[in-house]
């Protein structure tokens, strides 16, 4: 597959691009990888359709972006510790990964990103939203930019068991003997490749600013979340079976929407299964 056969089509004006004309089940040549890598750094999150990757193929593709790491609080699938399955049962309203967040921001070495494949999806529902944290920072007033540039956030993983036991479809995946993680992160980070500054908040994990109380922190963090996740900076992706999504965790937040009205109204909704590889920092 030659790189000049690949089409990169922007998904929204703010973030995301769909990539066509490539078969990810086949090894990538250098030209094709260059096109994908450029799209990843330009659009922050990239989408592929109809890519039925085996576990081995998903790992091979993910390794182009960097060394892979295990998720700290969940066991991988059998034979592939670096791949986890995220499962929502038809009875569950909550999704693992719901709420705006940057992955594992509670880790001192938060991951570069993730490569995720949809294995089982309903005809509608189970969507994920993404927001561009470059734009979130760049559109702040000069005064707010100065404030966040000198401020750190405290990121807390909360109890490790919450990452699995709170979800019926995930309860058997929890790792044993893992420890809670708390770390301090700056609210502004420069991307190591693009050099652009982005806002680094993660509302699911960060609800306090360093040297402030929770009460003092809340108005600032609430404002930054509302600002960053405004419609102009986001896109909403509708998964299909064998969709592949790759996002840059260094400049993107995402939110797995809890949009299963069947489960909410009648107790019987849809099943959703995705398989994820995490790319290390």
Q: Which residues pair with 182 in a beta bridge?
A: 156
Domains of the chain in start order, with CATH, are 3-279 (3.60.130.10)
Q: What is the pLDDT of residue 3?
A: 63
Q: What is the pLDDT of residue 177?
A: 73
Residue 3: DSSP 8-state: G
Residue 250: DSSP 8-state: T
Distance CA 256, CA 259 (A): 9
Which residues have CB under 8 Å from 29's CB, separation 6+? 1, 2, 3
Residue-wise burial string across 41-67, b where 16 or more C-beta atoms lie within 10 A, e elsewhere: eebbbbbbeebebebebbbbbbeebee
Strands 45-48 and 17-20 come out as parallel
Q: What is the pLDDT of residue 164?
A: 87
Q: What is the mean pLDDT, run by run of 10 residues, along the chain of 281 residues? A: 82 98 96 97 98 98 97 95 97 95 95 98 95 98 98 96 89 88 97 98 98 97 98 98 98 97 96 98 82
């Amino acid at each position: 597959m030659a790189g000049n056969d690949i089409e990169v089509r922007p998904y929204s004006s703010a973030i995301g691009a769909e990539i066509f004309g490539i078969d990810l089940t086949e090894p990538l040549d250098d030209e094709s990888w260059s096109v994908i890598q450029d799209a990843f750094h330009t659009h922050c999150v990239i989408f592929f359709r109809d890519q039925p990757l085996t576990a081995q193929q998903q790992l091979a593709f993910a390794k182009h972006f960097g060394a892979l790491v295990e998720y700290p609080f969940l066991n991988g699938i059998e034979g592939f510790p670096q791949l986890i399955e995220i499962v929502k049962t038809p009875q569950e309203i909550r999704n693992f990964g719901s709420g705006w967040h940057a992955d594992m921001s509670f880790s001192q070495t938060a991951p570069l990103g993730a490569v995720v494949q949809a294995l089982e999806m309903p005809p509608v529902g189970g969507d994920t939203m993404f927001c561009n944290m470059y734009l979130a920072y760049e559109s702040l007033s000069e005064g707010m930019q100065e404030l966040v540039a000198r401020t750190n956030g405290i990121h807390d993983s909360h109890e490790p068991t919450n990452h699995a036991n709170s979800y019926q479809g995930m309860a058997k995946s929890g790792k044993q003997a893992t420890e809670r993680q708390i770390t301090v992160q700056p609210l502004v980070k420069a991307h190591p490749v693009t050099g652009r500054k982005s806002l680094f908040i993660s509302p699911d994990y960060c609800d306090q600013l360093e040297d402030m109380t929770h009460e003092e922190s809340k108005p600032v963090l609430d404002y930054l979340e509302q600002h960053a996740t405004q419609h102009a900076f986001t896109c909403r992706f509708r998964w299909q079976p064998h969709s592949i999504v790759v996002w840059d965790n260094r400049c993107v937040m995402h939110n797995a929407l809890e949009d299963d009205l069947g489960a909410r109204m009648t107790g019987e909704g849809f099943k959703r299964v995705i398989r994820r590889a995490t790319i290390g920092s």
